[in-house]
Amino acid sequence: MGGGMARQLLSAKYKLICYDPDAKTLEPLGAAGAETASGTSDLAKASQIIILSLPKASVVESVIHEILLDIQPGTIVLDTSTSEPATSQAMSSLSTKHGFEFVDGPVSGGPAAANSGSMTMLLGGTKDAIQTLTPVLDVLTAKTVIVGGSGAGHAAKIANNMLCAANLVLVAEAVRLGEASGVKPQDLLEGINAGSGRSGVSEVNFPKWVLNEAFDSGFTMGLMRKDVGLAVDLAKSSGVDLSGFTDIAEIWLNGSAHISDSADFNEVVKYSNSEGNHA
């Protein structure tokens, strides 16, 4: 995702300083004219806007603490990772003390959208900081939604991915139910997508990646398992009952264990239920 965003910014003639622990990740960008920082400290000192695209909240926190003293006053840090609301709030509080802004802006759309500048970004932070980011956001996204203050973007992204995870399982079961009654999957989905049961999964995921068995969306089982875990953890810490999601979370976290973390996340439709049937 970070590479796709970097390519969009380079195409828009922004000057970038890119850093990744694995230098090979930056080689394709180097050909496009990106500069490689000798480390995160150099990047922080030279940048007015810092965009993070990292695996999880603990890494976000670690990176911010690593560069904290090098971030220049007035800098805006935009965190596009799928992180945790509490981490974003803590980083925002830290940024206030050190004279910079922290905005959470997790993204949807996958690598294809990152590479085409058509992502959706859910934003949490101050209106002034988000307004300053607008020219950059216009390059990276097709749609932005301001959902609240610090942490709101990541809370909304967790809720969104929870629904995506649930819909993948439920649409797979609906397809299996239809097939058992003699309805072809394509015909069933046409009917569903004309009615109230439609979703992004029934309209996009199944036609694009599931029914044709392409399973090449670019988003992995491991990443969605992480996001499902984030939803479960957020519910526990917030005291929210997710009883309707509990069985679906169990499918992602344990019931689909035979599907590797590196597999495409749409392959969850292959999970086995307790009777040994397959979606």
Q: Which residues are catalytic?
A: 157
Which amino acid is it at 245? F
Contact 51, 5 (CB under 8 A): yes
274: tokens are 């307790």
CA distance 43 to 72: 11
For residue 79, list its beta bridge partners.
52, 104
Residue with tokens 């959470």: 104
- Other beta carbons within 10 angstroms of residue 145's beta carbon come to 11
Number of H helices, E strands in the chain: 12, 8
Residues making up the chain, counted from first to last: 279
Residue with tokens 């080689």: 27
Residue with tokens 């499918």: 251
